[in-house]
Amino acid sequence: MKFLKKLATPLFLIGCLLLGFGISSLVKSWLGRATTPTPSHPDSIIVKRTAPPPTLRGITLAADMPTAADDAPAAFSKLRALGANWVAFSPEIHSLADIQSTDAGLRATALAAGAAQFHVCYLPRFSFHGQSTPTRHEILLAVARHAKARGYDMLALGYQTGEASPVDSFWRPALLAARREFPGQLVYVATDTLYPYVDWWDTVDFVAVAGPFTISLQPEPTPEQLRLGYQAQLDTIGSIGLRESKPVLLFDVAHPASPLAATEPASRLVKTPRPDLQQACIQAAVETIRGESWLRGVFLATWHLDSAAAKTDPSALNTDAKLLQIIADEWRAPQPVAALPAAALAPDAIR
């Protein structure tokens, strides 16, 4: 008995040590799992690839459209081959006079779009620097009336207004006035940095956010890193759409053919062209947006009807046959499709 009493204290201490070691191991294991990076979305890319593409598959046309729009019918044939069903017109609007002055080229292009059975989104790019609130409201109201007169299917306001921050007292009455004038789908397009602060989504039909989106900080990102970068953007935007019970639209999904395609996609500085990185970023975009029930659609940018202008735009879509095939593979069918005839996706010549 004395012998057992002598062993009691050492055995107790050993038991405490073993228990402590076990608890420590469990904590380390839990912490290890908690700090291990995991994809922000449970779906694998295989699941994404078998999901249908978004309902709205749009292409934004560049603002530098030729007045006659002679190349429009051929361009719409190529866009249809991609699987696109919407186009967005993005004229630059600085004053009331610009609405009419930019309309000459748009009318011919709109006729060609209608003949090719495309829906049209009117996506004017505004510049409101130094203008009074009544003048800005007057311009927005005139734009809504113009969009109605032209029979456009969608009107997207708020795009590139140059404002430091969105203000409810300005946009709510402006959008409600536009709603009274325009019978089609009404959109407020927020920038990728300001959309969390918008609180007037109830006045429009969609939660709409414009890129271009930064999807990686790595100079040489892998395809998986690019997909995870896009998924992180989608998760945040989608949470707002679900909260507001509104479908989501993405505008200006664009990446230049440059080393900054993923890290600074808005930059137009291209010292060394990187079409391979542009292709990888666009592929990550069109792959990731599939299978999201709350995402109504996306507008890729930019397509130049004047193919000569594409030479100066590092984000141009219509000069790279491989890029066009990537888009077609994702948009034309739930599963990847066979390569299209070369003539259907031939890149535009740079004249």
Per residue in 66-124, pLDDT tens?
544 557 788 888 899 999 999 999 998 989 999 998 887 788 888 889 999 999 999 99
Res 178: pLDDT: 97
Given a cut of 70, is residue 347 above it in pLDDT? no
Res 149: pLDDT: 95
Sorting pLDDT into bands at 50, 70 and 90, what band is 4?
very low
Nearest alpha-carbon partner for 261 in 238, 237, 284, 234: 284
Average pLDDT of the residues in 257-279: 87
Average pLDDT of the residues in 180-185: 97
Sorting pLDDT into bands at 50, 70 and 90, what band is 151?
very high
Average pLDDT of the residues in 258-285: 89
Computed over every residue of the chain, the mean pLDDT equals: 80
Sorting pLDDT into bands at 50, 70 and 90, what band is 25?
very low
Residue 21: burial class (beta carbons within 10 Å; 0-12, 13-18, 19+): exposed
Res 3: pLDDT: 45
- Rounded to 5 degrees, what are φ and ψ at 245? 55, 45
Structure-token match 């949470």, residue found = 239
Percent of the chain past pLDDT 90, that is, above it, reads: 46
Res 27: pLDDT: 33
Sorting pLDDT into bands at 50, 70 and 90, what band is 318?
confident
Contact between 254 and 298 under an 8 Å Cβ cutoff? The reply is no
Res 87: pLDDT: 95
Higher-pLDDT residue of 6, 119: 119
Res 191: pLDDT: 87
Higher-pLDDT residue of 197, 341: 197
Bridge partners for 208 per DSSP: 189, 249
Res 229: pLDDT: 93
Average pLDDT of the residues in 218-232: 93
Q: Residues 6 or more apart from 190 whose CB is under 8 A from it?
A: 158, 166, 198, 208, 209, 210
Sorting pLDDT into bands at 50, 70 and 90, what band is 138?
very high
Contact between 188 and 240 under an 8 Å Cβ cutoff? The reply is no
Higher-pLDDT residue of 17, 280: 280
Largest CA distance in the chain: 108
Given a cut of 60, is residue 301 above it in pLDDT? yes
Bridge partners for 122 per DSSP: 89, 155
Sorting pLDDT into bands at 50, 70 and 90, what band is 278?
very high
Single pTM value for the model: 0.80
Res 343: pLDDT: 47
C-alpha–C-alpha distance, residues 126 and 113, integer Å? 23
Nearest alpha-carbon partner for 276 in 220, 349, 215: 220
Res 24: pLDDT: 43
- Buried b / exposed e over 160-197, threshold 16 CB at 10 Å, is bbebeebeeebbeebbeebeebbebbbbbbbbbeebee
Res 66: pLDDT: 55
Q: Lowest mean pLDDT: which of 31-35, 121-125, 226-230?
A: 31-35
Sorting pLDDT into bands at 50, 70 and 90, what band is 34?
very low
Average pLDDT of the residues in 46-55: 67
